[in-house]
Amino acid sequence: MQELTHYINGAHVKGTSGRFANVYNPATGEVQAKVPLASKAELDNAVEIAAEAQVAWSKVNPQRRARVMMAFVGLLNRDMDKLAEALSREHGKTIPDAKGDIQRGLEVVEYCVGAPQMLKGEFTDSAGPGIDMYSMRQALGVTAGITPFNFPAMIPMWMFAPAIVCGNAFILKPSERDPSVPLMLAELLEEAGLPKGILQVVNGDKESVDAILYNDTIQSVGFVGSTPIAEYIYGTGCAQGKRVQCFGGAKNHMIIMPDADLDQAADALVGAGYGAAGERCMAISVAVPVGEETADRLIEKLVPRIEALKVGPYTAGDDVDYGPVVTAAAKDNILSLVQTGIDQGAELVVDGRDFNLQGYEDGFFVGAHLFDRVTPDMDIYKKEIFGPVLSTVRAASYEEAIALAMDHEYGNGTAIYTRDGDTARDFANRINIGMVGINVPIPVPLAYHTFGGWKKSAFGDLNQHGPDAFKFYTRTKTITSRWPSGIKEGGEFNFKAME
């Protein structure tokens, strides 16, 4: 069995804690590797090395740091297939989906090539008599990120690329469920010219997380995962005086108005609800058709599309719609919530509980489920299922529909399908959710805008990537200067006798 490593100071380093976690092949249920879980001492050692390396890196001018990102982009494109296969093997998502995971991270790296522009300060001439005032953005020092299993390439790059190009060192604690791709990314960055010790990959569990939070050298922490853990990391990190941004759970609603193109809406719901087996923080998990007729027609269009979905391992080809979920525990949790939905009175229109894939009976596959007549008091509405389950909540009016999304505790993403510009404009202006799609089911912003939810989906003042990333990973220093009056007449050419 393969034993994975940490990546410290430019080398693969075996764990010394004696603790390991199993890395599964989700399609077969087999353990394919074990990953070391770092102790506090191992994490602290990685931070110490990073802090020493960061001093010189912060003095490298932004243009040269940006050139490392340029080279990294080329290497990501070169190794796209290799990275995608490794990602699919540990996560279970299809190869096209894995390439999308890498591509969306790559786009943030491309944005970071513009670091010289983003890091420019401001200058005011003659702010007062003989006084100039200017500001500069400076690196924080050692920064850290704790990333989830569902995007093992994209989210680490969303964090470490802007952090590093700003002149920081970065400690990455990836998910122990699919750790191979983060290790590969660290290798590629050093091939691109990054000095050793600037990106350290330390695998671990809660012990490593707490070691990050309580390490005085680490200046900032980023996190993506569930809301309870986001709240813990945010509260603990802030109490330790760190700059912290945490992104938590989601329950994303898509409102379907009576004037919507229902074929387009149904296609969007199937892709957004079941893609990646629903293991996306931006997945649409709640469909809100407005009016009984709209709801009936929508369900009629959804059922055959959902029943036609092809579920299988990534090795079965690019026409597979989605693969297994990441662990047996995740599968059990999804099916438990499905049963709770039935027990609480929801109508299970498409029942995937008996799904079984021949030859992969021990894999973590979950069939597609569609609920109708879900109500806001049900657990399947209130909780993030993180699986291939779509709930339909019927609304009698637009106002009732928008109130559902606004009243939910999560506020990550939302969408509306309509042909009416006034409705769309009203929705975009009123909704208390961070990312909004108008006839777009998964409104993840491009790299030069920022990504972030509202309410219990996000904690902290700044979003991920875009301009906010350069603010998060730097401190602004403002200088006020005045020089005493000196000789302005130029050189003197006459010889003066010594006095």
Q: Residue 246 in 3-state DSSP?
A: strand
Supply the DSSP symbol for 203. Answer: -
Max distance between CA atoms of the chain, in angstroms, equals: 106
What length does the chain have? 499
Radius of gyration of the chain (CA): 26
Write out the two tokens for 442. 């998964």
For residue 140, count CB atoms less than 10 angstroms from its CB and return exposed for 0-12, middle for 13-18, buried for 19 or more.
buried
Pairing of β 131-139 and β 474-482? antiparallel
Cβ(178)–Cβ(11) below 8 Å = no
For residue 9, count CB atoms less than 10 angstroms from its CB and return exposed for 0-12, middle for 13-18, buried for 19 or more.
middle
Q: Which of 112, 166, 246, 281 is catalytic?
A: 281
**Phi, psi for 45 (deg, rounded to 5):** -65, -40
Active site residue 281: yes
- In this structure, the dihedral spanned by the alpha carbons of residues 200, 204, 205 and 209, taken in order and rounded to 10 degrees, is -20
Q: What is the DSSP string of 371-417?
A: EES--TTSHHHHS---SSEEEE--BSSHHHHHHHHHHSSEESEEEEE
**Phi, psi for 332 (deg, rounded to 5):** -60, -40
Cβ(171)–Cβ(143) below 8 Å = yes
Q: Which residues are known catalytic residues?
A: 281
